[in-house]
Structure 1
Amino acid sequence: MNKRVFIIISILVATVAGFILSCNSKGPAATNSVPEVVSYNYHIRPILSDKCFACHGPDANKRKASFRLDIEDSAFAPLKETKGALAIVRGKPEQSELYKRITSKDPSYLMPSPESHLAVLNDHEIALIKKWIEQGAKYEKHWAFVAPKKAALPTVENKEWCKNEVDFFVAKKMEDQNLRPNEEADKERLLKRVSFDLTGLPPSVEMMDKFLADNSANAYEKIVDELLKSPRYGEKMAVHWLDIARYADSYGYQDDNIRTQWPWRDWLIHAFNTNLSYDKFLTWQMAGDMLPNATKEQVLATAFFRNHKYTEEGGVVPEEYRIEYILDKTKTYGRGIMGVTIECAQCHDHKYDPFSQKDYYDLFAFFNNTKEEGYEGDVSTSKPAKNPILAISDSDVHNILSYINKKDTGKLTVSVMGERDSLRKTFILGRGAYDNPTVEVMPNAIPAVMPFDTVKLARNRLGLALWTTNKSNPLTARVFVNQMWQELFGRGIVKTTGDFGMQGELPTHPELLDWLAVDFMESGWDIKRLMKKIMMSATYRQSSKVSPEKLKEDPENILLSRGPRYRVPAEFVRDIVLASSGLLNNTIGGPSVKPYQPPGLWEGATSGRGVLAKYEQDHGQDLYRRGMYTFIKLTVPPASMMIFDASNRDQCEVKRSKTNTPLQALVMMNDPTVLEASRVLSQSLVAKSGDAKNNIVTAFRLVVCRKPTDKETKILESYYDEEFQLYQQKKMDAKTTIAVGESQVNEKIDAIKTAALMKTIQAIYNLEETITKT
């Protein structure tokens, strides 16, 4: 095996191994000790939810023996089908029918019953239930529906490690499991981490040198503050919210014609950069059009709810699709903002959470009074925006909406929210069918979360927005804090980011989540302050190195005894390549662009009608825009980004999947953007210096964001020398190699040196560490 083949195989092996490590999905080693005090919320309800609620829970249609275990009154009532028996007798498990059945050896008596196909309880679960009954079988309201409170900071042994309040809660959890935190990450890796998390871009060499040379006590804080002020911050933060908002550049369905919602994306970036408080951020998007003397900016913000798919197919039933649009809004509100699966109650009462079908349509009613229609015409007569629309003039862009990057003088329209003058009636829809209205309902928020009448509010979208951002609401701040934690650590404090309900996972650090939520609200819903608070913690700053012992004890890093390590999101894989090579077009905002894409993808999945029937690649500087500006056609999302687990944006998504496939390595080895970036960076370095070693070290720093070790340098030098010899001996053609991409090839510099260094840089781009936040 020659050196060239060996290096390529080594790179692929390192990539796969790193991906596996960064996406390891095993759970932590569970402790089998029964706690001194057994909690219904944290110990008992998860067992009942998994093993009992399917037959004895909220869903009346599936309930057996008219018996419920999910509510206290029913759980302690005499059993109808077992005379004289009680399911739970406080303090007496041996007299409790629940305990007797879960411990029975008789299949006809055992619960869960064999025909339910649910696993029987294990010894640890039985021991928990026994002790809970012995301690009085106290029921508790679901933790997420109780308003958060700031707990006192726990007492910890390792208080010298703690840099702020976050660390006390984390240290306590670690000490309970006999774990110690990692040392702080070295300055190069820490800078890369914080730069990726706040801008989505690698730090420049100048920033690296400045940070390495700064030995002041607040050197790290200065870098955090600098990055928070960067206009790139708004772009990075916007990507997660674009997933929630299901933002795309086409309407979906078969014709999938073009739409013009990008001015809302420009507003979104602007809102994050100006640090619009989260309560206003939500209120404007939910009901900006209903605010007194609403400004064009506040109305533009409501485009958030209009990003869903729209049909343009002839022959559809308009009311069917109008209802579909309202269902989508309701789901987006529930999952993206409230963190609950309220959509499960569209057709019947929720099977696990205390949400009835009536509760669902009460919430649905808030969105059911919009002016939008189910069908406006087919693709041949459609407009780039659907009614109601906001028209944005050149005067608006030059004055009140100056953050909108409008290139031409043509008419610009955006789909926004608009309320009807008269109230449209809302009905519970039998089995969720648009043509089966039953009982009429009125707008009302989710009562299990917080009564709508806690404060006097109008029963419209603005009232719902104010209910949502009321500081007594137990979910809003928790859900957003959890999403931001997920953005920084790759995993939320609540792993099920979109489900804070009874089937969702419990928070790993409940007191920390509540402390951060309350602190966030007390700060005036200050998003930048929240980000800085977490990032200044010792928890965040830890090295991501993992020992075999820690990997075995806590493979998912639930206890946070090491720093985060995972592949960056799809958009930022592209950004790393463009930024490090010098190709990146730094323009912020504006219409989406169409970079390189394999031919025939759109043509093979289109109706043949409309301006998007054929993929027409952009040219010039538009080829080098950030990943977030790549044109998203809903029926055929960008291939390279989908391979790296980007959201396809057809519905609200709060957490992306993480997969490892050979296609990801193939993209990094063959994508025209990667090849062109390798060539451009190579010719830039060769034009300045003929010293191959220095050029390799500089390229490594630009791409990987640290200085290479001597061993790494020697391996890359060896690879460079081998490639150089192959080109020099005419076994490969240098000019053919560098003839990639639309950017100009510098004919004045040595083609062989450029090609050899280009191949070396391509190898660096293919390192697992390059696209991994460590």
Structure 2
Amino acid sequence: MSLFRTSNSLALLTLALLAWNCTSKENKSLELAPNDQISYNFHIRPILSDKCFACHGPDANKREADLRLDTEEGAFASLKDSPGKFALVSGNLEESEVYHRITSEDTGELMPPPESNLVLTESEINLIKEWIKQGAKYEPHWAFSKAEKPALPPSNEWTKNEIDLFTYQKIISQGLEPNPVAKPHELIKRVSLDLTGLPPSPEVLDKYGDFSGPNSYEDLVDGLMSDPAFGEKLAVLWMDISRYSDSYGYQDDNIRTQWPYRDWVIHAFNENMPYDQFLTWQLAGDLLPDANKEQILATAFNRNHKYTEEGGVIDEEYRIEYVLDKTNTFSKGILGITMECAQCHDHKYDPFSQKEYYEMFAFFNNTPEKGYEGDVSVSKPAKTPILWMDQEDLSGVMSFINYQDTSKLSVSVMGELDEGEKRITYILDRGVYDAPTVPVEASTPAAILELPKNMEGNRLGLAKWTTSRENPLTARVFVNLMWQEIFGTGIVKSAGDFGMQGDLPSHPELLDWLAVDFMENGWDIKRLLKQIVTSATYQQSAAINKDHLAIDPANVYLARAPRLRLSAENIQDLVLASSGLLHKELGGPSVKPYQPEGVWEAATSGRGVLATYVQDTGKSLYRRGLYNFIKLTVPPPKAIIFDSSNRDQCEVGRGRTNTPLQALLMLNDPMVLEASRVLATRLDSEIKDDSEVIKTAFKRILCRDMNSEEEEILESYFEDQLDRFEANPEQIKPTLEVGEYPIEKSEKTARTAALMQVIVSLYNLEETITKI
């Protein structure tokens, strides 16, 4: 029963259209069948990018012999140093200089040159050779081509829905078999954590049992999706994307009140707002005809970036910084591309020019936002433009906002300058705010999709372009994010980079099928998630066998369910919920839970209302992790230890590390100790049989029944602790008096203290905070 057990997974690059791997980092031989069709995107470009583009790619400053192999025009053009010769000749090996160079035995001719320390494997050479023979056909980048529904693979007894048709094909192609179905209690815990972020109660576990009675697995899924906790779970992801925080960042890092936007996001997910509408309101709710305050509130998405309140700064410099942040958040979080690379120069790998970057920038450049509104002495909880909400709003169209005060609420939102006040957007030389060069109009990258002439040249037009059926990225990116939420890794591993340097999709046909199906069915988020969690792929056991480790250690092909440590917020939620401490209030202002003394004070200017950490009390201490106060200069330390985003920029995914600090935290955190004490006192008063009380605690925390070996170990540990406290009664009080939740004198017993130690050990099991 160790604390944290993880294994370092081996990285595998999955080539998606054939049933074999051919990366240079794997010593696997490649045998080609006569009729295998080789794809530039999925087979050739990864090789060229790894071995050739350093000298023959998009970077003009490092390009040798003026030869480009990353574009069709460059590869088929006459060689500058050898007129009449060509790097590639379609279908003709002997006339293709690339073939001769990569197979040459002359080190002076061989490519890549020996001094580069890059070597093409035999399988890679064979691939390039066959590709040339097949015509050396270049393809547009897969992610910039319109998504179309591929034909469904054949069905079989294992598959439950369309997802399984694609995954089964991949599983079998690798010589693997799908895992058996997970045990009922594993499925109940897994889907509860995935859809609500909360563990199932013993009552829920008993209600659904083995799903053989009147309560089916689908009933469980439907119930979880109708739970308000559903919106809270998804909101954690969207807070990372929208870089939500409760302070301004920079030096003084004062307080701001953006939390009504968080309430709106929870509300939108719970109401199952279609994703296209969800995006439109956030990008341009203020520009909709007769926009109401809810639609305007949604535009706070754009205003969650950092703000300076330092004296002496240049207003225009920071105003430009804010527009850059909006542009980069939109491109990364919604389009899944790294447009920020083109702020200073043309993108080195993707087909985006600096001009196109500033054309995108122009959509966000006409809000009356200021770069500087005054120093901390005049700090306000919202910056211009501001949406004000009074009690009439909060009892009407904004009734979903949890606000108990009678004063007005203020939130930073978007607005648009009048026609006569609109700014001219310029390309900025090297991205510097005071170095304007050529003026540009608002537009979109041609490589993705040109902005149709019938769409407005403002954020509303951008929203329509983003949610157009013709846009190749939006649906793919969101479907991938949902897949990542469930399986830990997206179909495209680089969820924020669908560009040419991003990872190839492991299941490209599945990604496209899901993206098109998502759009065809009204951008329905709950329907998409239900498809995923009711699939046979999802319902597999997470058990690992020797074939998994030998063939697919990273679980790219999904022949088993993943084992994933919970996110920082959900670890807090699990501890509070299983102990009975969780206060399930929905929405409202952020809260300040237990935190080590001095952390804030050591990283502050000493000015403003956030100069000193003032811990909350009462029920506010027991809110979900989503509601923890985020101060940008000092993010919540416990959450950071468990890999949460620090929220200073848009993030579309989190890492999962395994460090001793995590174990140290779980063993000593006041929240964990207090939760253990509270659960111990409640069970101590309700159940008198020692064996039964341990069984009950185990089931509440691990969501299953103990086996006989576990029962023997825990009962022995309980007896040891009971003997210790009975022999040393002076240790009972300091052990139990942790946290602010009240404890009665009658509850300060040796039995309660011993049971508390058992529960602390249960919270420190790997299985407790792992989705299996």
TM norm. shorter chain > 0.5: yes
Report if the CA contact (8 A) 2:518-2:528 is conserved.
yes
Q: State the alpha-carbon separation in 2 of the partners of residues 435 and 105 from structure 1.
A: 54
Paired position in structure 1 for 2:745: 747
- Pick aligned residue for 2:674 from 668, 673, 676: 676
Larger mean Cα displacement after TM superposition, 208-217 or 307-316: 208-217
- How far 1:391 sits from its partner (Å)? 0.3
SS of 1:595's equivalent in the other structure is: coil
Deviation string, structure 1 residues 308-362 (Cα, Å, up to 9, x no partner): 0001111111111111111111111111000111111111111111111111111
Distance (Å, rounded) in 1 between the aligned partners of 2:341 and 2:113:
25
Aligned counterpart, 1:358: 355
Do residues 20 (structure 1) and 7 (structure 2) align? yes
CA distance in 1, matches of 2:54, 2:665: 44
Q: Name the amino acid aligned to 2:574.
A: I
Report what 1:172 is aligned to.
169
Aligned partners of 1:248 and 1:307 also within 8 Å: yes
Q: Partner of 2:298 in structure 1?
A: 301
Name the counterpart of 1:5.
Answer: none
Structure 1 pair 450–260 and aligned structure 2 pair: CA distance change class (3 A) = same
Question: What is the match of residue 63 of structure 2?
Answer: 63
Alpha-carbon shift at residue 649 of structure 1 (Å): 0.4
Q: What's 1:220 paired with?
A: 217
Q: 1-side partners of 2:605 and 2:545: how far apart? A: 54
User: Structure 2 matches for 1:427-442, cutoff 5 A?
Assistant: 427-442=426-441
Query: Match for residue 92 of structure 1?
Result: 92
1:308–1:182: structure 2 CA closer, same or farther, 3 Å change rule?
Answer: same
The answer as to whether partners of 1:286 and 1:462 remain within 8 angstroms in 2 is: yes
1:432-487, Cα deviation, whole Å (9 max, x unpaired): 1111111111111111011112x610111100100000011111000000000000
The residue number in structure 2 matching 1:257 is 254
Measured after TM superposition, the shift of residue 534 of structure 1 is 0.8
3-state secondary structure, aligned to 2:549? helix
- Aligned residue in 2 for 1:42: 42
Q: Is the 8 A contact 1:27 1:556 kept in 2?
A: no
Give the Cα–Cα distance (whole angstroms) in 2 for the partners of residues 65 and 394 of structure 1.
70
1:11 aligns to what?
A: 2
Structure 1 residue 107 displacement after superposition: 4.3
How far the C-alpha of 1:597 sits from its partner, in A, is 0.3
2: CA distance, partners of 1:525 / 1:586? 29
Change (3 A) 1:703 1:473: same
Give yes or no for contact 2:112–2:119 (8 Å, CA) kept in 1: yes
The aligned amino acid for 2:723 is Q
- The answer to whether the Cα contact below 8 Å between 1:27 and 1:555 also exists between their aligned partners in 2 is no
Q: Distance in 2 between matches of 1:395 and 1:700?
A: 48
Aligned pairs for 1:755-774 (under 5 A) are 755-774=753-772
1:368-407 matches, cutoff 5 A: 368-407=365-404
Matched, 1:482 2:473: no
1:705 to 697, 703, 706: 703
Asked whether the equivalents of residues 729 and 750 of structure 2 are also in contact (C-alpha less than 8 Å), the reply is no
Query: Equivalent of 1:716, from 714, 717, 720?
Result: 714
Counterpart for residue 25 of structure 2: none
Distance 2:284 2:81 in 1: 51
SS in structure 2 at match of 1:769: coil
Q: What is the DSSP-based 3-state SS (H/G/I as helix, E as strand, rest coil) of the residue aligned with 2:410?
A: strand
Q: 1:341 aligns with which of 326, 338, 344?
A: 338
Give, in whole Å, the separation in 1 of the partners of 2:691 and 2:214: 34
Give how far 1:151 is off. Answer: 1.2
Contact in 1 for aligned 2:733/2:748 (Cα 8 Å): no
Aligned to 1:3: none
The alignment status of 1:446 with 2:445, answered yes or no, reads yes
**Aligned residues of 2:732 and 2:748 also touching (Cα < 8 A):** no
Q: Is the 8 A contact 1:256 1:634 kept in 2?
A: yes
Q: Which amino acid aligns with 1:566?
A: L
* Mean CA deviation greater in 68-77 or 521-530: 68-77
| Distance of 1:355 and 1:298 partners within structure 2 | 31
Q: Give the distance between the partners of 2:106 and 2:498, measured in 1 at CA.
A: 36
Aligned pairs, number: 756
Deviations 1:19-49 (A, max 9, x none): 336x665667935424421111110111122
Aligned pairs for 1:76-87 within 5 A:
76-87=76-87
1:146 is matched with which residue?
145
Gaps of at least 5 residues in structure 1 are 1-9
Question: What displacement does 1:118 show?
Answer: 6.3
Give runs of aligned pairs for residues 174-253 of structure 1, distance below 5 A: 174-212=171-209, 214-216=211-213, 219-253=216-250
Question: Deviations 1:572-594 (Å, cap 9, x if unpaired)?
Answer: 00000000000001101111000
Letter in 2 for 1:427: Y
Cα–Cα, structure 1 residues 361 and 219, in superposed 2: closer, same or farther, change >3 Å?
same
Alpha-carbon distance in structure 1 between the residues aligned to 2:216 and 2:670 = 38
Q: 1:511 aligns with which of 509, 512, 516?
A: 509
Q: CA deviation at 1:379?
A: 0.9
Aligned to 2:110: 110
The counterpart of 1:572, out of the listed 570, 573, 579, is 570
In the TM superposition, residue 66 of structure 1 has moved relative to its aligned partner by 2.7
User: 2:11, 2:46 → 1: CA distance?
Assistant: 20
Residue in structure 1 matched with residue 552 of structure 2 by the alignment: 554
TM-score (norm 1): 0.96
User: 1:92 Cα shift?
Assistant: 2.2
Structure 1 pair 389–114 and aligned structure 2 pair: CA distance change class (3 A):
farther
Is the partner of 1:414 in helix, strand or coil? strand
Pick the aligned partner of 1:520 from 518, 521, 544.
518
User: Using the alignment, how far apart are the partners of 1:90 and 1:27 within structure 2?
Assistant: 28
Mean Cα displacement is larger for which, 304-313 or 744-753?
744-753
Please say if residues 570 and 641 of structure 1, whose CA atoms lie closer than 8 Å, have aligned partners that are also in contact. Answer: yes
Counterparts of 2:307 and 2:406, CA distance in 1? 27
Deviation at 1:729, TM superposition (A): 1.1
Q: CA deviation at 1:60?
A: 3.3
d(CA) in 2 for partners of 1:464 and 1:597? Answer: 42
**Separation in structure 2 between the aligned mates of residue 141 and residue 27 of structure 1, nearest angstrom:** 20
RMSD of Structure 2 on Structure 1 (CA) = 1.5
Shift of 1:59: 3.3
730, 734, 737: which one pairs with 1:736? 734
- For residues 714-761 of structure 1, give each alpha carbon's deviation from its aligned partner in whole angstroms, at most 9, with x where no partner exists: 111110000001111117611211010000113223610100000000
Counterpart for residue 54 of structure 1: 54
Greater shift after overlay, 343-352 or 277-286? 343-352
d(CA) in 2 for partners of 1:166, 1:404 = 37
Which residue of the partner structure matches residue 123 of structure 1?
122
Structure 2 gaps of 5+ residues are: 15-19, 22-27
User: Under a length normalisation based on structure 2, what TM-score does the superposition of the two structures give?
Assistant: 0.96
CA distance in 1, matches of 2:666, 2:579: 14
Return the alpha-carbon distance in structure 1 between the equivalents of residues 607 and 11 of structure 2. 44
1:120 partner SS: coil
Which position in structure 1 is the counterpart of 2:17?
none
Distance 1:217 1:278 in 2: 33
Name the aligned partner's letter for residue 408 of structure 1: D
Cα distance in 1 for residues equivalent to 2:101 and 2:345: 29
Please say if residues 645 and 659 of structure 1, whose CA atoms lie closer than 8 Å, have aligned partners that are also in contact: yes
Shift in alpha-carbon separation, 1:576–1:61, aligned structure 2, 3 A? same
Once the two structures are TM-superposed, the CA of residue 708 in structure 1 deviates from its matched residue by 1.1
Contact map agreement 2:601 2:611 (CA 8 A) in 1: yes
- For 1:166 and 1:190, locate their aligned partners in 2 and report how far apart those are by CA, in whole Å: 18
Q: Which runs of 4+ in 1 moved over 4 A?
A: 23-29
Asked if structure 2 preserves the Cα contact closer than 8 Å seen for 1:101 and 1:110, the reply is yes
Of 595, 599, 602, 1:601 maps to 599
**Does the CA-based 8 Å contact 1:314-1:378 persist in structure 2?**
yes
Whichever residue aligns with residue 749 of structure 2, its letter is A
- For 1:55, the aligned partner's letter is C
Which aligned pairs between 1:636-647 and structure 2 lie closer than 5 A? 636-647=634-645
Amino acid at match of 2:529: M
